[in-house]
């Protein structure tokens, strides 16, 4: 591990000159089909390094050969049914919601093509990732009697704001992406998380950072969202003495000038910076940090694990490490998704596909009311493309693992 030199005033001035130099979002992304997603025009790939457990140790990935297929055996019969997807489809973090919508739509299309006597519709609802907007959208979903299952909401803040509404309506709500640990402390009976929460992701990544990566001094920076705060708290607690409180920082969603927090980072001369938030802020932060201190390692979580991070950060993203409770897209899924949507699958696409498959499998087996589908999901146990799905009474998965990726 190389020693980091302290930033000079001149270098810091260069960094601040680039405050507003965030490039525009790329149009589409492409994928190699080998667990590496590439942002168009950057030449950079987000490549899967390892699946790890809560101790930060590598765990071999399971085979996808036993995964449930949305097509089933093609003999399903049911009256027309509807499931919904809710999440950010517009706004700064829309790519994450679109990944989920497309993953679910791919599963629905495969089911419908294979089962002409059991047609299912996916209705999408744009929350913009905003908790306030989500509280306006949620009543539209529950008041539509045709909707018997939901994939979403996508983000932790909007899930927190609407979970009670869905619970009261008895509508099963499966999230492909909301990871704040406290969501399952609300007593909701209809909420099911389709991936590990931040109390798994934070400790696993923290131990990987101090163990495999050998980092001894880390600055933890978080945004002001429920997701960012929850993941940062879990990360800081497990890093222990490796988390330098003197360079811990707070930023606001939508912020683009990170001069104050970068000044704290460069003054501390850390081995790494962990950012807990979304790619819209992670990209300019990585740019400004790279200009101020080229040697410091940038690390972030699933909110940044999207080709839009590399597209917006450009060369500053090279060498960054990203974690996610989501796994890389299997080869056939990658090909089918890219053919259907002319872009690569992104973070949470596989989870959305799996969750849509579970809901449709329940419908195909005759669970066509909200209470019936809720009961089906609560007692479900089966393999998907991403993992094994089985839930505790609070809606957490019975087993959870994390993936670590590198931008190269």
Residue 143 φ/ψ, nearest 5 degrees: -80, -5
Mean pLDDT taken over the chain? 89
Most confident range, picked from 21-25, 77-81, 304-308, 324-328: 77-81
**Percent of the chain whose predicted confidence (pLDDT) is above 90:** 81
- pLDDT tens for residues 269-281? 999 999 999 999 9
Place of tokens 């495999």: 212
Q: Identify the CA nearest to 406 among candidates 156, 205, 155.
A: 205
Mean pLDDT of the region 69-94:
95
SS3 64: coil
**CB contact at 8 A, 172 and 192:** yes
pLDDT of residue 43: 86
Cis peptide before 153 (omega within 30 of 0): yes
SS3 80: coil
pLDDT of residue 238: 96
pLDDT of residue 66: 83
pLDDT of residue 398: 94
Output the CA torsion sign for 236, 242, 244, 247. Answer: negative
Residues with Cβ within 8 Å of residue 65, at least 6 apart in sequence:
none
pLDDT of residue 42: 64
**CB contact at 8 A, 177 and 236:** no
Q: Identify the CA nearest to 194 among candidates 405, 382, 404, 406.
A: 382
DSSP states along 358-375: HHHHHHHTT--SHHHHHH
Asked if pLDDT for residue 168 goes beyond 80, the answer is yes
**CB contact at 8 A, 85 and 100:** yes
pTM for the full model? 0.80
- pLDDT tens for residues 15-53? 333 332 322 222 223 233 334 555 545 689 899 999 999
Could you give the angle at which helices 331-341 and 94-114 cross, rounded to 10 degrees? 100
Asked if pLDDT for residue 178 goes beyond 80, the answer is yes
Characterize the bridge pairing of strands 381-383 and 402-407: unpaired
Asked if pLDDT for residue 207 goes beyond 80, the answer is yes
Distance from the Cα of residue 94 to its chain's centroid: 12
Q: How far apart are CA 263 and CA 184, in angstroms?
A: 37
Domains parsed from the chain with CATH numbers:
9-60+199-324 (3.40.50.2300), 81-196+331-386 (3.40.50.2300)
Q: How far apart are CA 143 and CA 372, in angstroms?
A: 18
Q: Of 274 and 331, which is predicted with more confidence? A: 274
Q: How far apart are CA 258 and CA 20, in angstroms?
A: 10
Q: How far apart are CA 336 and CA 311, in angstroms?
A: 23
**Percent of the chain whose predicted confidence (pLDDT) is above 70:** 89
pLDDT of residue 286: 97
Mean pLDDT of the region 280-302:
96
Mean pLDDT of the region 210-229:
96
Q: How far apart are CA 358 and CA 176, in angstroms?
A: 12
Place of tokens 């899924």: 333
Residues with Cβ within 8 Å of residue 395, at least 6 apart in sequence:
183, 184, 188, 191, 192, 193
Asked if pLDDT for residue 315 goes beyond 80, the answer is yes
Residue 84 φ/ψ, nearest 5 degrees: -120, 160
């Amino acid at each position: 591990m190389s020693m980091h030199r302290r930033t000079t005033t001149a270098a810091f001035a260069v960094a601040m000159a680039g405050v507003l130099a965030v490039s525009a979002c790329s149009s589409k992304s492409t994928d190699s089909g080998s667990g590496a997603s590439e942002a168009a025009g950057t030449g950079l790939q987000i490549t899967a390094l390892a699946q790890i457990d809560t101790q930060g140790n590598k765990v071999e990935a399971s085979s996808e050969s036993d995964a449930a297929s949305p097509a089933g055996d093609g003999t399903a019969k049911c009256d027309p049914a509807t499931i919904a997807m809710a999440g950010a489809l517009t706004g700064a973090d829309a790519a994450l919601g679109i990944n989920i919508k497309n993953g679910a739509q791919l599963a629905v299309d495969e089911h419908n093509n294979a089962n002409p006597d059991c047609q299912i519709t996916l209705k999408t609802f744009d929350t913009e990732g905003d908790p306030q907007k989500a509280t306006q959208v949620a009543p539209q979903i529950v008041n539509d009697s045709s909707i018997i299952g939901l994939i979403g909401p996508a983000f932790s803040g909007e899930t927190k704001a609407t979970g009670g509404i869905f619970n009261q309506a008895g509508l099963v709500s499966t999230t492909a992406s909301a990871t704040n640990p406290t969501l399952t402390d609300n007593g909701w009976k209809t909420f099911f998380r389709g991936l590990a929460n931040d109390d798994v992701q934070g400790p696993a990544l923290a131990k990987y950072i101090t163990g495999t990566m050998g980092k001894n001094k880390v600055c933890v920076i978080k945004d002001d969202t429920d997701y960012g705060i929850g993941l940062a708290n879990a990360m800081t607690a497990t890093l222990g003495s490796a988390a330098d409180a003197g360079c811990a920082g707070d930023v606001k969603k939508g912020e683009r000038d990170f001069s104050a927090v970068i000044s704290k980072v460069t003054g501390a001369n850390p081995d790494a910076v962990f950012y807990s938030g979304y790619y819209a802020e992670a990209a300019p932060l990585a740019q400004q940090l790279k200009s101020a201190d080229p040697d410091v390692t940038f690390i972030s979580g699933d909110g940044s694990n999207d080709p839009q991070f590399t597209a917006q950060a450009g060369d500053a993203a090279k060498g960054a490490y990203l974690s996610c409770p989501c796994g890389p897209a299997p080869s056939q899924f990658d090909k089918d998704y890219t053919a259907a949507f002319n872009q690569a699958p992104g973070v949470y696409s596989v989870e959305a596909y799996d969750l849509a498959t579970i809901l449709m499998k329940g419908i195909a087996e005759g669970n066509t009311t909200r209470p019936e589908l809720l009961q089906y999901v609560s007692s479900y146990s089966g393999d998907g493309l991403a993992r094994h799905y089985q839930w505790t009474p609070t809606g957490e998965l019975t087993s959870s693992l994390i993936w670590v990726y590198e931008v190269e």
